[in-house]
Structure 1
Amino acid sequence: MTRLDRHAICVGLLIFCILADSQSYRTKKGICKRCSCEKLNAGPNQTLRLDCSRLEANDVEDLLGYGEDEGHGGAWTLPYEASQDYRIIKIILDANSINHLRRLPPLKEEFPNATRESETGSTVNVTPESVNSTGFDIHGNSTASPSPPSDDFTMLIEVSFRANHVKRIDPGAFAALSNTICSIDLANNDLTYDALPGSVFGGDFSNQRYEPLPNLKKLNLARNMLHSLDAKIFEHISFTLEELNLQWNSLGNSLDTVTEAALSTLTKLKTLNLADVGISSFPEGLAHALISLENLRLDGNKLAVVPTSLSMASSSLLYLNLNRNPITKINATSFVESVHGSAWSKLETLDISAMQELTYVLKGSFENLKGLRTLRCAYNQKLMHFDEEAFRLMGDDEMEWERWKGFQLKEVNTIM
């Protein structure tokens, strides 16, 4: 049997173990014999988690179509049950020492001949006779013809390549999964500025957009070696990306112009993680550009004050994390309203904990945060004074209980 034949037959056996009809099936054959499958949740968004991490080097090459037949490997095969029952397929390829990430194989909906064994020990032989004309395995299912997925059913793919020491990614590495990929996790690798040009996230040709990955919502680039971002890094995904993680990349005291330009293209971004990147400010232009931003993590940086740029943001934040910054005091100007309106009106959760230099929380500090529900101000070792009128300045004729008038607070944590 050639390497190509072995790849075509074994990849499906390795990756897609089926969970159907309340029974768990596994294949007797496979390349690594170490992968595992897990049904994560029920309901309309069922997820099938496929753990192919920590494989042998030869197994990884076969799985990704590398080696002597590079570029000619077979597709990742998707059995009928998975395409019918699971909204999300999560493929975990962590800790496999994939230094160079080439183009991923495409998916196809068929299940090759194999022998399956249920948890009860009964053996099911999957033969051509037990596969219908579409190539889908129907052995052991009801005699009724399987119905195709409904029009509103879209199966999505999540891929994870964490902790692989990836240093290089080929252009269009994810293009074969253009219409299905929704999440890419590249955290804890060795990626640099040069390794991430815009072409890396290019997809298939489209009349509407420039080679898009139209369903990509999440991108994790945390814990890499990025000091800056290519201005065009998001050119194929700027109109879809909703969550970006850049934590633990040394981006410098302030974001450089190309990094700011790259991030400013993400008009659909809802969650941005810039924790532990070393910045001491947040660019005003970026605050204006991120018109959909709801969740912002700036913890573990060098901010000496709450960035005034956030008060002029185009969007209203729901969550802000400022933990572990050298802010010395919070006062009435920390969350000031701008002349264009309040960017703070919808803020629900504020984290200002573990600040080694925070000493004072003064009168009127949170007066503009009318939507605040949760305040976490804990483990600030130098905090000497938390003013009783931090939320609202009290009139002489007002009662104590009116201190919270107009607020929706559910939780205030001020553990010292």
Structure 2
Amino acid sequence: MADSLPFGGSNDSRRAACDASGFARHFGLTLSSDLIDWIDQALWRHTGCGEFHEAVDPASLMDDPADTIWPGLMPPDFLPLIGNGRGDWICGRVSAAGTVDRFVHWYHGGGDWIPWGNRLGEAVLFDVWCPLLPGPGRRHAIEPDDPRAGACLSGDHPWIQWAADAAHPGARELMQFALAQTSLSGDEKATASLGLADGMIRHGIAEVAVRCEMIQNHRDDWPLIGKHASAAAQTDPDLAWAWEWLAMSHDSLGQPASAANCFAKAACCSAFTDQAVRMRPPGVELGDAENQAAKLSVAWLRQQHTRVDELAEISSIQQRYVSMLVQTDPSRWQQSAHDFWLQAAEASAKGGNGTEAVNCLIRSGWDLGIQPLSVYGDVLNRLAAMAGRFGDGRARLCQIHADCFRQRYQGLG
């Protein structure tokens, strides 16, 4: 982890020192080569050509407070980098080691998030290519007659040139699939679309996000859904939607034991990773509306009267947590989950496992959310202290989220 600097002084003095090195020191991070180029080559100064086209001035993230950080609503290990002008962000997710090794699409409306790659370049390419993939795409995709579209798809835009080099050597080959679709229709266009998706998966470019689109494109093909969901869950086990769709695939194929284990794994994931608005399958009826809105996985386990303590594929702490949710009235889930993970954090800290203690504190606020809003101030302060105590790479960012919360919501935090 990079050495920390004193963080007093004016915003102007911070801005004056904002090259990649100064940025890394300010946040206590080790930056990858693509992020160094993003800052030092001033790529962020360009207007992008996808839905996410408004890059954050890195220096503004060093302001006190940083206006683009949504403390409490946005997880405390998220650093917003590119916005769509409507409140949604491509964020870097900071690891315990102080690296930025995952980039996610964060929805401001409900706080849901989904990984878009391990490099910022992958996220940029997915943003541009998503409307060309099989599946429903996104509502705010760039229109074909937009003058920016040609530069995007041909690779002439500075972001696309950089992203292709940063993401994978095969990215430039995939540009041909993307560009070809502008002159195709019918079956030929569908074939090119599948070729683009297959190529992105093969080269590992925003693989999890592409598999999410493919699942939505094959709602009735349960074996294929299971294939994509399994791969997504193995790549990123923190995603409720991947485990839920894998569970539903098992269930539809007459494999209830496997379905139960996968639903239990989904229940261990944050509710903000279930993509419920886009991906909740039609016809699913699992209890009351409040139950369905929180965690489909728990609703299924309750309906099936599953003995969670007999599920072999989750850990003992996960068994205790899922059992607690199954046995608790949904109206008390938020507070019960909050208390459970606070206690788990204390136990991990006493055992000397600082990384797990920080992870548990994050879950205390961002597994099911917590009310009232003022509670986030306490959680963020605990996080900053715990991460600092154990030298966790998220310490500085957690402190910044805590400071932003205190200044933005004076009297609450």
TM-score w.r.t. structure 2 length?
0.30
More helix by share: 2
Whose radius of gyration is greater, 1 or 2?
1
Q: Which has the higher contact order (CA 8 A, sep 6+)?
A: 2
More strand by share: 1
